[in-house]
Chains A and B, each alone.
Chain A
Amino acid sequence: MSAAADTLSRRPVPTARGGAVQSVRDSLVVAQRNLIRMARIPEVVVFGLVQPIMFVVLFSYVFGGSIAVGGSTDPSLYREFLMAGIFAQTVTFATAGAGAGIADDMHKGLIDRFRSLPMARGAVLTGRTLADLVQTALTLVVLAIVAVIVGWRIHEGVLKALAGFALLLLLGYAFSWIGALIGLSVRTPEAATSGGLIWLFPLTFISNAFVPADNMPTVLRTIAEWNPFSATVQAARELFGNLPPGYPVPSAWPMQHPVWASLIWSVVIVATFRGLAVRKYRSATA
């Protein structure tokens, strides 16, 4: 029994490093945990791909011939125009994943365990959003391949295209912080999933993602032009070279400077929702 007694006997407790180093390390430990989970529940990632792929195919072939972009109803032009919209919509679905994951952790008592540990504040949430970022990146890779198959191409070179994907990922990361706040605020993972998705539909449809905004009624058009989501879509379209010839760029500032608008919006969303979510986490009770 002496060996066993050793296992349970008291020993010096490790001390905290504190500061940024500990924050990063703790966040990575939690991110690793969430990535292991994702690898063990691959159906979540797979189902996450079904909807965007369906949208790519449906929009390309059902609406493709009927929606005029840049004054032309050439379906191949619409297909190129569409992809940035679908990519952007897909990255925002990270909201539901983060929300459901965190609500599930609350529900199972894991958040209690984490909160009783001497770990960095916010690391549980940062770890989760980082893991979601990895998942979003994987989803985008698969989706880009499907897009290429249906005829999507980039026209401004690889570097600009990568910058476009970086902006999309940043938007997804920002939205996963909104999801984190939702996950901490609801009682069940199911509520977090639907609460993370419902408002995304108006947000992504009252935008330039699927159709040009210039035919919308004035109020909707203004919303669409200032929608954070539209800024990223417009920026990605520019960087991919997917704006159809003769496409009128709206005069609203975010549409004229979409890369900056996208960056600013995403950073503002991260700063706001990270602050709110970490505060909520500190007082969260399962």
Chain B
Amino acid sequence: MPGAIYAEGLVKTFGDVTALDGVDLDVPEGTVLGLLGPNGAGKTTAVRVLTTLIKPDRGRALVAGIDVLKKPNEVRHSIGLSGQFAAVDEYLTGRENLRMVGQLYQMSARDAKARAGELLERFNLADAADRPAKTYSGGMRRRLDLAAALVVSPPVMFMDEPTTGLDPRNRQQLWEVIQELVAGGTTLLLTTQYLEEADHLAHDICVIDHGRVIARGTSDQLKARTGGERVELVVHEREHIASALDVMRAFGKGEATVEQHTRKVIVPVSGGAKLLAEVIRELDTRGIEIDDIGLRRPTLDDVFISLTGHVAEAADGNGEQEGATS
């Protein structure tokens, strides 16, 4: 039985740009899939195919069990889409925006009005409800956009980089809403460039680059592929690097590396915090003064770099947009 979002061999080209090059996805009901990748990787194109906005050249997709290509209008009843650009009408008030979307989801005028009120309350927009959306801050617009996607509480949600450009407080608030949604049984596909976000919200992560899925699994599984924990320390004096390296080699479980310019010594370890304490005692005994020391676990950034050979945010301009439009 395929999941709430299921895709098989999706291919989409725009001119000579291959945006999707055989993407398979399977998102079980009630879970969150984080679609991770740099700009231009094909994330937005995948979302646009799954939300019926564009047709793939090849492949097949089911959303909420409905064939996206054969019955797009039925799919549209079951999905909510919240995009990178807060797609609200800036000259309409928050309330008018939500009422309009409700009516276009085929709610009665009365239901749409009541629902708009509920959502404005829930998203802390009640005070600004009757002001045109162009007076809203970035965070408020994003909340209004998300509220619009939730007007009918669709069983499947798509969020394309929902927190890009948001400040940490607004991002935190949005994360809370997302977690609440998922707790309520919604299936969510989330694209993001922020590895931290995928780590925080997603049950499963799919890393895509150049239109292909290059890795998938839970956050822990992906991190395990990149290697285990390590100790990183920064010595105070450059001349102490050599002796610190000796200590680290003694405790380490692999090749120790040195970054001269930052006076940093790194060594893979196993043994966790207890080992870290021993390292510190030994350094102290030898009179090596340190500026910083810590036990580091691999982040999704490390995973990303090791998989793609480049940093997630080291974006090739607005490649994603180009890919989606041309």
Binding site for B on A (CB under 8 A): 4-5, 7-11, 13-17, 22, 25-26, 29-30, 32-33, 36-37, 40-41, 108-110, 112-119, 123, 283, 285-286
In the bound complex, CA of A162 to CA of B121 (Å): 49
B residues near A114, Cβ cutoff 8 Å = 104
Q: Are B92 and A33 in contact (CB under 8 A)?
A: yes
Interface centre among A13, A22, A30, A283 (most CB of B within 10 A): A13
In the bound complex, CA of A22 to CA of B185 (Å): 30
Question: Quick one: given A116-B52, A118-B105, are A11 and B180 in contact (CB under 8 Å)?
Answer: no
From residue A100, how far is it (CB to closest CB) to chain B in Å?
Answer: 14
B residues near A15, Cβ cutoff 8 Å = 77, 106
Q: Are A10 and B87 in contact (CB under 8 A)?
A: no
B residues near A118, Cβ cutoff 8 Å = 73-74, 76-77, 104-106
Q: Are A40 and B76 in contact (CB under 8 A)?
A: no
Q: Are A41 and B91 in contact (CB under 8 A)?
A: yes
A residues near B185, Cβ cutoff 8 Å = 9-10
Q: Are A33 and B100 in contact (CB under 8 A)?
A: yes
Q: Are B91 and A40 in contact (CB under 8 A)?
A: yes
A-facing residues in B179-217 (Cβ within 8 Å): 180-181, 183-186
Q: Are B152 and A11 in contact (CB under 8 A)?
A: yes
**Across the two chains, which residue of chain A brings its CB closest to B111?**
A14
Our pick among B76, B91, B184 for the contact of A36 (Cβ within 8 Å) is: B91
The answer, yes or no, to whether B118 is at the interface (CB within 8 Å) is yes
In the bound complex, CA of A29 to CA of B108 (Å): 11
A-facing residues in B71-103 (Cβ within 8 Å): 73-74, 76-79, 81, 83-92, 96, 100-101, 103
The answer, yes or no, to whether B242 is at the interface (CB within 8 Å) is no
**Across the two chains, which residue of chain B brings its CB closest to A18?**
B73
**Across the two chains, which residue of chain A brings its CB closest to B97?**
A33
Q: Are A7 and B119 in contact (CB under 8 A)?
A: yes
Q: Are A285 and B324 in contact (CB under 8 A)?
A: yes
Q: Are A285 and B325 in contact (CB under 8 A)?
A: yes
Binding site for A on B (CB under 8 A): 48, 51-55, 73-74, 76-79, 81, 83-92, 96, 100-101, 103-108, 111, 118-119, 121-122, 132, 148, 150, 152-155, 177, 180-181, 183-186, 324-325
Q: Are A5 and B184 in contact (CB under 8 A)?
A: yes
B residues near A109, Cβ cutoff 8 Å = 83-87
Our pick among B83, B86, B104 for the contact of A26 (Cβ within 8 Å) is: B104
B residues near A283, Cβ cutoff 8 Å = 54-55
A residues near B89, Cβ cutoff 8 Å = 33, 37, 110
A residues near B78, Cβ cutoff 8 Å = 13
Q: Are B87 and A113 in contact (CB under 8 A)?
A: yes
Q: Are B184 and A8 in contact (CB under 8 A)?
A: yes
In the bound complex, CA of A119 to CA of B151 (Å): 14
In the bound complex, CA of A11 to CA of B111 (Å): 13
Our pick among A8, A25, A286 for the contact of B153 (Cβ within 8 Å) is: A8
Given contact pairs A33-B96, A283-B55, enumerate 19 new A-B contacts (beta carbons under 8 Å): A4-B122, A8-B122, A8-B177, A8-B181, A10-B185, A11-B153, A13-B154, A14-B111, A17-B106, A33-B89, A109-B84, A112-B81, A116-B52, A116-B53, A118-B73, A118-B104, A119-B105, A285-B53, A285-B324
Q: Are B186 and A14 in contact (CB under 8 A)?
A: no
In the bound complex, CA of A101 to CA of B15 (Å): 28
Q: Are A112 and B53 in contact (CB under 8 A)?
A: yes
Q: List 21 A-B contacts (CB under 8 A).
A: A5-B180, A7-B118, A9-B184, A10-B153, A10-B184, A14-B111, A16-B77, A29-B104, A33-B89, A33-B100, A36-B92, A40-B91, A109-B83, A109-B87, A115-B52, A116-B51, A118-B77, A118-B104, A118-B106, A283-B55, A285-B53
Q: What are the 6 closest A-B residue pairs judged by CB atoms, nearest first?
A: A109-B87, A118-B76, A109-B85, A7-B122, A113-B87, A116-B81
In the bound complex, CA of A10 to CA of B108 (Å): 18
B residues near A110, Cβ cutoff 8 Å = 87-89
**Across the two chains, which residue of chain A brings its CB closest to B101?**
A117
In the bound complex, CA of A9 to CA of B83 (Å): 21
A residues near B104, Cβ cutoff 8 Å = 26, 29-30, 114, 117-119, 123
Question: Quick one: given A109-B83, A113-B83, are A16 and B92 in contact (CB under 8 Å)?
Answer: no
Q: Are B153 and A115 in contact (CB under 8 A)?
A: no
From residue B153, how far is it (CB to closest CB) to chain A in Å?
Answer: 5
